[in-house]
């Protein structure tokens, strides 16, 4: 699995466009229940119109932020979170995104997965963020029983070395989108599914 994913995606890019830890944090927050494509369409307008720093976004009314990010869904909640976390970064972290999970998860609108993405992609700290693609494929490939996203994360971290985590989680995401989609893969023709477990019907998976 590692070998084939490495061949298919030797240098997987971060799906969300960003220029620094703060813009990555905002992009990941916006991606909740929204596609990366949509987020990448919205963030240029958000950052270009209102600013791309905590100093600039902290002074924006949440309603103004919501006007721009509404297409990402959950507009009111996300807008309040962006305005609030920007102010907290100024008040408690000298305007910088903290490089540890505890402080990240304490920010409004920042859950465990979002914090792990920032740790992995902004700071290079070995992390294994589990999104719906990874949660589904880990079950399909029998790497976890899928009881919960946290259990899937724990099981994957136990199976793979930390040095592989940051790249592997991106490789699995891209493979899931390209070759083993929720609707398009029946568990019999996907290259990795077929190599691991030749079978005649799809593996049922639990949602994240």
Active site residue 113: yes
In the structure, how many helices (H) and strands (E) does the chain have? 12, 0
DSSP 3-state helix, strand, coil percentages of the chain (rounded to 5)? 60, 0, 40
DSSP state of 199: -
Give the CA-trace dihedral at 199, 200, 206, 208, to 10 degrees.
70
Q: How far is it between the farthest Cα atoms of the chain?
A: 57
Residue with tokens 């914090």: 115
What is the residue-wise DSSP string for 107-120? STT--HHHHHHHHH
Write out the two tokens for 86. Answer: 């920007």
Instruction: Tell me the two tokens of residue 127.
Output: 């992390």
Is 178 known to be catalytic?
A: no
Annotated active-site residue in 131, 154, 157, 167: 131
**Hey, how many other C-beta atoms are within 10 angstroms of the C-beta on 150?**
11
Two structure tokens written together for 55 = 């100093």
Backbone angles phi, psi at 25, to 5 degrees: -55, -45
Task: Show the tokens assigned to 183.
Answer: 């609707």
Catalytic residue positions, numbered: 113, 131
């Amino acid at each position: 699995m590692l070998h084939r994913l490495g061949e298919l995606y030797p240098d997987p890019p971060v799906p969300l466009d960003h220029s620094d830890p703060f813009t990555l944090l905002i992009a990941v927050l916006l991606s909740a229940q929204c596609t990366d494509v949509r987020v990448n369409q919205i963030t240029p307008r958000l950052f270009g119109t209102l600013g791309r720093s905590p100093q600039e976004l902290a002074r924006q009314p949440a309603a103004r932020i919501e006007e721009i990010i509404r297409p990402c869904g959950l507009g009111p909640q996300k807008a309040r979170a962006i305005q609030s976390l920007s102010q907290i970064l100024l008040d408690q972290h000298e305007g910088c995104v903290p490089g540890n999970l505890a402080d990240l998860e304490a920010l409004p609108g920042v859950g465990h997965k979002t914090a792990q993405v920032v740790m992995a992609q902004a700071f290079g700290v070995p992390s294994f963020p589990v999104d719906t693609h990874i949660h589904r494929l880990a079950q399909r490939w029998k790497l976890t029983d899928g009881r919960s996203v946290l259990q899937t994360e724990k099981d994957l971290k136990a199976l793979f070395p930390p040095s592989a985590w940051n790249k592997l989680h991106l490789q699995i995401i891209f493979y899931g989108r390209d070759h083993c989609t929720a609707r398009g893969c029946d568990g019999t023709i996907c290259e990795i599914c077929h190599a691991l477990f030749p079978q005649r019907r799809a593996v049922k998976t639990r949602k994240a």
